[in-house]
Structure formats: structure tokens, C-alpha cells
Structure 1
Amino acid sequence: MATSSSGGDAAHAAVTADREVVISRVIGAPRELVFEAFTRVRHLSRWWGPEGFTTTTRSFEFRVGGAWDFVMHGPDGTDYQEWITWREIVPPERISLLHGESRDDPNAFESVLAFEAAGDETRIVMRTVFPTKELRDEAVEKYHAIEGGEQTLGNLAAYVAELARNEMDLKGAES
């Protein structure tokens, strides 16, 4: 089964194979800045999650074997306990992680984020593999994983565009 969706001019998603979802977007900022926005908790809390969600971090240690323990607060007031363990970090090219509700979640899914330089822009590809087809289907149908992923990358794009503008303003003021 392969279906695809587009969340705007620059976002694209597809359900591939039987356990995988792939979401990509071109972001108008340099790769190093986009990577930094993914790796610093002070940035993550400003953009992580679909539209209307906020994030509260309990603990954050960005290193292989480290974890990010956080709560996503939905616009309807629902809290979602989340846990990410960093499995591979190759700055500024790739991050591999395991994402679930807790450290020992048997339904946790694996994601690999690739950051590809494209001139002054960055193409980010988020490839997520679920333990089973049923868990993938539930994430797509019940939790709107494709739309949520596209919105999350849209939030990232808006946030790093703001960071890049602020950096340019600072450089202009220093001249």
C-alpha cells in the first residue's frame, strides 16, 4: 500500500511498505541551523508538535543513549506522555531515535531524520518505522500521524525562518 499526502508547497508525506511513514520538507534555512533546532531543548519547546500543541520537557540529554522525557499538551487539554531515546547522532546530517510513551514502551517506533543541504536550504526527511502494520495504521488513522508530522515540520520551518531573520538583524546591527 502506498498513499501520499501534501501539507503545502514544501511538505510531502507517504505511507510506504507496510510499517513505514515518510515525511519530508524543504526548509529555507541552512542545515546547521535546522539541525540545531532539533538538538537543543530551548529550541524544541518552541516548535515541537502539531499545530495547537505545546511541549513541557521533564529531562533532556542529547547524546547517543540519552533521552528526552516530555509531555505534549493537546489543544483539547489532553496530555500525551512521550519519551525519545537518541540512538545515533551524526551532526549535522542524521539523527536516529526511538520514540514511545515511556522508556520501555513495546509499541515504540523508530525514526531516522536526514538533514540534506540544498544551498541555503535544507531538505529534511523523517522516515518512521512502526513495530507492526497495525500500529502504523493506528498512528495514521487515529492519531493523524501524517498531518501531525507535516504540521510539526511546518512549525520547524517557521521557527528556523524566525531564527535566521533574527541572526541577519543582529549582523546588520553590528555592521
Structure 2
Amino acid sequence: MSVFRHSRDIPASPEAVYAAIQDPARLARWWGPDGFTNTFHTFEFRPGGSWLFTMHGPDGTDYPNQSEFLELVPNALVRLRHVNEPLFELSIALEPSATGTLLTWVGVFENPAFSESMRSFLEGANEQNLNRLVLEVGRG
């Protein structure tokens, strides 16, 4: 297993950050690295719910994604399992901070060879993802 951890202090309340995650229209705008867009097919935001979407790369490549929501704690936690390759579990924790919300993003990949070979890309992509989330939260 390989673990990727990113934290970001977001100048907004945990409620505002959670709202940008639970709303599929808003989530589609910020999910993924720069230049990528999303088409959501199924978004059942509840424990056990399915999330099926296609991420469209800037070069026109489509990346099908299938996840299951494992745990949702309003304004505090989103935990999901990505069930197609690459297999991973993602936790997004939200904690109040002096300036808004401390978001902690932890991805645990099952295939260490894959994740280590992709570490540079994944770390950069996660930072871009969080940059896009900050912009989305600022839109309100």
C-alpha cells in the first residue's frame, strides 16, 4: 500500500467546503487536475452509494471512474473506495481552523508499484485538485 497525504487550510467554514463536495454540479467543476472535466452518470451521496463518472483529459482521453461512498459525516468527513483500477481509498477530513477549515486528503493505493510509479503525477494532481476546490468554495 502507498499513502498520499495533502493538507490545505481553506478560508471557508467546514459547511461551505462540504457543500462543494456534496453537490454534484459543484463537485464536477473542481474534481481532478487542471485541464480535466467530468461527466457524472450516477452520484448517490450516501453510505453505500455509487459514484460513476467519466473524467475527460485535456488530450481528449476519457477515464471511467467508479467509486462507492463508505462513510459521510456532514461537514467533517467523506470516505470513498475507488472500485476500478487503480484501486484506492480516499478520505477527506474537514476540521475547523483559525482561518476556516483544515482539509486533510489521504489516499491509500492498493498497488504500491502503480502508485510509486505515478507518485509525481498524483501529488501534483492532488495539489491542483485542492487549488480548484478553493476556487469553487470561493464561488459560493
| Bucket of the pairwise TM-score, normalised by the shorter protein | over 0.9
Provide the residue aligned with 2:32 in structure 1. 49
CA distance in 2, matches of 1:127, 1:139: 16
1: distance between equivalents of 2:97 and 2:69? Answer: 25
The within-5 A match list for 1:58-73 is 58-73=41-56
Are positions 1:131 and 2:110 aligned together? yes
Give the secondary structure class of the aligned counterpart of 1:92: coil
Aligned to 1:109: 88
Moved more, 92-101 or 19-28: 92-101
Q: After superposition, give the CA deviation of every residue in 1:94-149 in whole Å (9 maximum; x if it has no partner).
A: 11110143xxx5x41011111011145111111111113212213314xx110001
Matched, 1:162 2:130: no
Q: Which residue among 71, 95, 114 is the counterpart of 1:88?
A: 71
Partner secondary structure for residue 72 of structure 2: strand
- Structure (1 or 2) with the larger CA radius of gyration: 1
Show structure 2 runs of 5+ residues with no match: none
AA aligned to 1:124 is: L
| Whole-Å separation in 1 of the counterparts to 2:40 and 2:111 | 28
Instruction: Find out whether 1:147 has 2:124 as its counterpart.
Output: yes
1: CA distance between counterparts of 2:65 and 2:72?
Answer: 20
Q: Is 2:101 aligned against 1:122?
A: yes
* Aligned counterparts of 2:83 and 2:101: Cα–Cα separation in 1: 27
Contact residue 30 and residue 119 of structure 1 kept, 8 A = no
| Corresponding position: 1:27 with 2:10 | yes
When normalised by structure 2's length, the TM-score is 0.93
Equivalent position SS for 1:21: strand
- TM-score, normalization: structure 1? 0.75
